[in-house]
Amino acid sequence: MKPVDYMVYTFIASNEEVSYSYQMTEPDECEAKCLNDCNCTAYANTDIRDGGSGCVIWNGGLFDIRSYPNGGQDLYVKLAAADLDVKITSHGRIIGSSIAVTIFLLLSIIILSYWKRKQKRSITIQTPSVDQVRSQDLLTDEVVLTSDRYISRENKTDDLELPLMEFEALAMATNRFSVASMLGQGGFGIVYKGMLPDGKEIAVKRLSKMSLQGTDEFKNEGEKMLIYEYLENLSLDSHLFDKIRRSNLSWQKRFDITNGIARGLLYLHQDSRFRIIHRDLKASNVLLDKNMTPKISDFGMARIFGRDETEANTRKVVGTYGYMAPEYAMDGIFSMKSDVFSFGVLLLEIITGKRSKGFYNSNRDHNLLGFVWRYWKEGKGIEIVDPIIMDYSSSALRTHEILRCIQIGLLCVQERAEDRPVMATVMVMLGSETTAIPQPKRPGFCVGRSLFETELSSSTQRDDDLTVNQITLSVIDAR
């Protein structure tokens, strides 16, 4: 027997429309009666006589049946087998579609979760910096390592999260961290030279357990073992202060290096996602690739600022004396302007070829800033320039450019932070010959240690050569 079903309508019963009716004793008896009657087109359970429960059966066509939203009785109209198949098929399609969509969504979630987990297992080697390794400092572009292969930077995804590092891959690259692979040792540990499977030379910095610098400083550099691209030209100080290598630094190369450092510092201060204060910019922390392109390194002391922060204060002053701004060295206040001060010192080192730290000359200029300021004030700024530069730069145009850079350097080392330019302004002054540059004032830390202190520390100075003048002040208070 083919399946049947009923469509339910709400109606008002009328005895004239009833084909026949009878009393029933069971609730399902009326439905069974209609099901067994081939002529039955509809039925209804209703009270039709004296308040008793009855069953009303309709045979043939249904006429004058009205549907009411409220009140009335339920009328069960028998459906044809064809109509029943359509209804079942439509209902099945809805259920099937719902199941298919649900399965699709579940599979998508599973695939996405698997993909993200796989990406987390990839290893990204970040390249913020590397600490000074005795003129063997190194820096790198980002690479990705997995346990079984090396992936170039072009193939890595942009949304990799903090990675893990496969120790075995690094051990193989450095010949098990052999002594022959060691490049040098710095404050954070030993740096080893290695080679990736594709032939790319790298350096691996391994944190020393005996390091005097703790993990708090190291966190800024990322992991406890870092991979860096090996840079053939080492650090800037290995060229600038070496009697032989400095001859390769013409003024044009020095000027290009200066611009590169300024662009890097501008990126840290302005263009990066977070404002970064380096706090230890110096010649040994500027690394040079094979094209002598500078890269700022050693972010172990760096501090990250929010966009609304301009300065901070610390009780723990870190960095290198000779490059520190006065407000930072004396009061622990650091900001973008303290990095500008360090850049100014570095620029004057590049121009003069002389170290700021440990500077000494016979004219009792007790630091590099005092030396440069004295000659600049006397109108003899060109005399402080490294003689090697002047051999390359005999034209008047180069001389004007050099003097302009000296003036910029002195502006960057002003004693008051508000008198120093920001790096964006420095970039404009370096790149334009027509931009007006203010006249600098006396730089910070211009005098250095007092003459009295210097002479006391000299082992050759006799006591009778010293003269100490004293003055006594009397203060009279009225009764």
Residue 22's domain is classified under what CATH number?
A: 3.50.4
Evaluate if pTM is beyond 0.95.
Answer: no
Residues 340, 258 share a domain = yes
Residues 134, 68 share a domain = no
Q: Is residue 298 part of a domain?
A: yes
| Residues classed as catalytic | 280
Q: What angle do CA 157, 160, 161 make, to 5 degrees?
A: 175
The answer, yes or no, to whether residue 285 has pLDDT greater than 80, is yes
Angle between helices 336-352 and 396-412 (to 10 degrees): 140
Tokens, residue 57: 């059966």
pLDDT-based confidence at 415, cuts 50/70/90?
A: very high
Whole-angstrom CA distances from 150 to 173, 198, 351 are 11, 7, 42
Residues 370, 443 share a domain = yes
What is the distance between the alpha carbons of residues 291 and 277, in angstroms, rounded to a whole number?
Answer: 27
* Residue 288: closest CA among 336, 337, 221, 242: 242
Q: Is residue 468 part of a domain?
A: no
Cβ(261)–Cβ(95) below 8 Å: no
> How many domains are there within the chain?
3
Per the DSSP assignment, residues forming a β-bridge with 203 are 193, 228
Tokens, residue 166: 């496969």
What are the tens digits of pLDDT across the range 297-326? 888 889 998 777 778 888 788 888 889 999
Task: Answer with the one of 198, 229, 260 that is the final residue of a domain.
Answer: 229
What is the distance between the alpha carbons of residues 140 and 223, in angstroms, rounded to a whole number?
Answer: 14
Q: Is residue 177 part of a domain?
A: yes
Residues 424, 392 share a domain = yes
Tokens, residue 184: 């040098």
Return phi, psi of residue 396, to 5°: -65, -30
Residue indicated by tokens 């440069």: 372
Residues 297, 180 share a domain = no
What is the distance between the alpha carbons of residues 360 and 451, in angstroms, rounded to a whole number?
Answer: 12
Q: Is residue 144 part of a domain?
A: yes
Residue indicated by tokens 């650090």: 235
CATH of the domain at 222: 3.30.200.20
Residues 224, 251 share a domain = no
What is the distance between the alpha carbons of residues 49 and 53, in angstroms, rounded to a whole number?
Answer: 8
Residues 287, 149 share a domain = no
CATH of the domain at 437: 1.10.510.10
End-to-end CA distance of the chain: 131
What is the distance between the alpha carbons of residues 387 and 353, in angstroms, rounded to a whole number?
Answer: 9
With a CB cutoff of 8 Å and minimum separation 6, the contacts of 180 are none
Tokens, residue 16: 């004239």
Sequence letter at residue 26: E
Residues 200, 182 share a domain = yes
Residues 218, 261 share a domain = no
Residues 63, 15 share a domain = yes
Tokens, residue 197: 């499977």
Q: Is residue 118 part of a domain?
A: no
Residue-level pLDDT at 386: 92
* Residue 450 or residue 198, greater confidence: 198
Q: Is residue 95 part of a domain?
A: no
What is the distance between the alpha carbons of residues 62 and 297, in angstroms, rounded to a whole number?
Answer: 92
Domain that holds residue 204: 123-229
Task: Answer with the one of 79, 110, 134 that is the final residue of a domain.
Answer: 79
**Residue 380 assigned as binding residue:** no
What are the tens digits of pLDDT across the range 130-178? 343 333 333 333 333 333 334 444 444 444 454 455 778 888 889 988 9
Q: Is residue 108 part of a domain?
A: no
Q: Is residue 88 part of a domain?
A: no
* Residue 24 or residue 163, greater confidence: 24
Task: Answer with the one of 194, 229, 264 that is the final residue of a domain.
Answer: 229
- Alpha helix (H) ranges present in 58-132? 81-121
128 three-class SS: coil
Residues 306, 163 share a domain = no
Residues 361, 223 share a domain = no
